[in-house]
Structure 1
Amino acid sequence: MAKKVVPETDRRRRKPTKQGVVLTEEMIVQTALRMLHEHGREGLTVRRLGVALGADPSTLYRYFRGTDDLTLAIADELIGRAMRGWRASGDWRADLREVGLRIHTAYLNHPEAAVLTANRVSGRANEIATDEAILGILRSAGLPDPDAVRIYQAFIDLTLAFAALDAASLALPEAARAADEEVWRATYAQLSPETHPNIAATAPLLVARMNDSAYPTALGMLLDSAGATLGAG
């Protein structure tokens, strides 16, 4: 005979932990985010998470099927933080730009978590609500569904790709990140115009720009393309 399935709510711990608190999924995710910030991806283990929560590590499996399930919950939390308080204004371009910048910023606020989750599809509530909002912005602007989906894909992939790229830089040890940033001034700006005329001609601009994220520029280009599609339609 098959075993009776225990409802998820019944599997969760009701007794306080050693620290006197009752665990919740939200509490575990918040603690995991803090541990990622403090110890990096390698420092986030079930054992360490249990210690931080004052609970037996096995208790976590009452809330998540495993560490991958926890990773998806973290991804959804970042999206939720990004969209908290957002309201559509009715201006499709301004709304899409704000959503993109919100997501990018939320990921950069948690670079270790961003590197861990930016390529994942969680299928959880915050992610689904955000996808619904983005598609709503595009369809409300008057784009046919094929164009709305095409631009949606480009928009979300562009946003998450830059989030992962920029977060990976922020997640580097400080000395390594500083050394990378210095290359533009110490190496590129010193190249001879006789051997590298194009780099030499643009060196001051490269030094001023290349250590900043190109996401706002790329986002603007995508919005221009969407606007052109809308105008042509």
Structure 2
Amino acid sequence: MTDRVVPEPDRRRRRPTKQGTVLSERLIVETALRLVAQHGAEALTVRRLGLALGADPSSIYRYFRSTDDLLLALAEELIGRAQHGWQPTGDWRADLAEIGLRIHRCYQAHPQAALLAAHRTTGRENEIRAVEAILGVLRRAGLADPEAVRIYHAFVDQALAFAALDSAVFSLPAAAQAADLAVWQQAYARLEPATHPHIAATVPLLAADMRLSGYPVALELMLDAIAARLPS
């Protein structure tokens, strides 16, 4: 795709697509999310989008300058969905926990898109609102600005890193997921206490816990660390 996007007032099609719908940025983004969920990253092409929309692929250029521009729109959509309905309570720990879990849940609901978008910075409305909200929680908790910024960075990177990691796992074929989990019940369960006493003592717990995301525990540890840095 090339840089020939049409100005905002001229973007809307005068006629419906073959499927009877009128193109819009939202329709294109939602269709792209669906295609990526069904077919992976390779589905994010102008040709596939045009086919799914029942429109000439070149019409996508009226809304997005490039596939990267569309990818940023997908990232922005996920950020917006994670924030939808969130309101601060005034309890910094509860507020941060809710924000982190919302990010993680939203990206888990769209694992293929998360792999494409979790590491991108959009600089758009939803992302700006999220940055403002998280910094607000930290500053109102009493953290000085340099500390608030460092913790903001760590908090967001932790949430997105776990979202991307868990999305990669969920994106594996079911057989591969099952095989990875079976390793804990097979290879690790056979290790002898004489050579691997700590694994042998905990292997049933390991086998059970490795089926779950480590993010909730990591988030709790992060919140404990923030609490230790707050002014007395």
- The TM-score normalised by the length of structure 2 is 0.95
Q: Which amino acid aligns with 1:111?
A: P
> Please, which moves more after superposition, 178-187 or 148-157?
178-187
Number of aligned positions between the proteins:
228
Which residue number in structure 1 is paired with residue 134 of structure 2?
134
Indicate conservation of the 8 Å contact 1:13/1:62, yes or no. no
Which residue number in structure 1 is paired with residue 110 of structure 2?
110
Distance 2:7 2:116 in 1: 29
Seen in structure 2, the aligned counterparts of structure 1 residues 216 and 6 have a Cα distance that, compared at 3 Å, is closer
Which residue number in structure 2 is paired with residue 228 of structure 1?
228
Indicate conservation of the 8 Å contact 1:49/1:57, yes or no. yes
Distance 1:9 1:191 in 2: 67
Listed one character per residue, the Cα deviations across residues 113-146 of structure 1 (whole Å, up to 9, x for unaligned) are 0001011001111111011100000011111001
Indicate conservation of the 8 Å contact 2:111/2:170, yes or no. yes
Which residue number in structure 2 is paired with residue 168 of structure 1?
168
Distance 1:162 1:57 in 2: 35
Which residue number in structure 1 is paired with residue 55 of structure 2?
55
Distance 2:68 2:149 in 1: 28
Q: Which amino acid aligns with 2:10?
A: D
Indicate conservation of the 8 Å contact 1:46/1:57, yes or no. yes
Which residue number in structure 2 is paired with residue 73 of structure 1?
73
Q: Secondary structure at the match of 1:188?
A: coil
Listed one character per residue, the Cα deviations across residues 32-61 of structure 1 (whole Å, up to 9, x for unaligned) are 011111111122221011000011111001
Which residue number in structure 2 is paired with residue 45 of structure 1?
45
Distance 2:79 2:6 in 1: 30
Distance 2:81 2:41 in 1: 20
Unpaired stretches in structure 1, ≥5 consecutive residues: none
Cα offset, 1:191, TM superposition: 1.0
Indicate conservation of the 8 Å contact 2:104/2:163, yes or no. yes
Q: Which amino acid aligns with 1:144?
A: A
2:3 aligned with 1:7, yes or no?
no
Distance 1:45 1:229 in 2: 47
Cα offset, 1:13, TM superposition: 2.5
Cα offset, 1:231, TM superposition: 3.7
Listed one character per residue, the Cα deviations across residues 52-98 of structure 1 (whole Å, up to 9, x for unaligned) are 00111110011001110110000110111111011000000000000
> What root-mean-square deviation, in Å, do the aligned CA atoms of Structure 1 and Structure 2 show?
1.3
Listed one character per residue, the Cα deviations across residues 162-220 of structure 1 (whole Å, up to 9, x for unaligned) are 00000000001111111111111111122111221121111111111112111011111
Which residue number in structure 2 is paired with residue 199 of structure 1?
199
Distance 1:192 1:13 in 2: 68
2:103 aligned with 1:97, yes or no?
no
Which residue number in structure 1 is paired with residue 151 of structure 2?
151
Q: Which amino acid aligns with 1:107?
A: Y
Indicate conservation of the 8 Å contact 1:14/1:23, yes or no. no
Indicate conservation of the 8 Å contact 2:17/2:23, yes or no. yes
Indicate conservation of the 8 Å contact 2:12/2:22, yes or no. no
Q: Secondary structure at the match of 2:180?
A: helix
Which residue number in structure 1 is paired with residue 88 of structure 2?
88
> Please, which moves more after superposition, 160-169 or 9-18?
9-18
Q: Which amino acid aligns with 2:63?
A: Y
Indicate conservation of the 8 Å contact 1:114/1:167, yes or no. yes
Cα offset, 1:9, TM superposition: 2.3
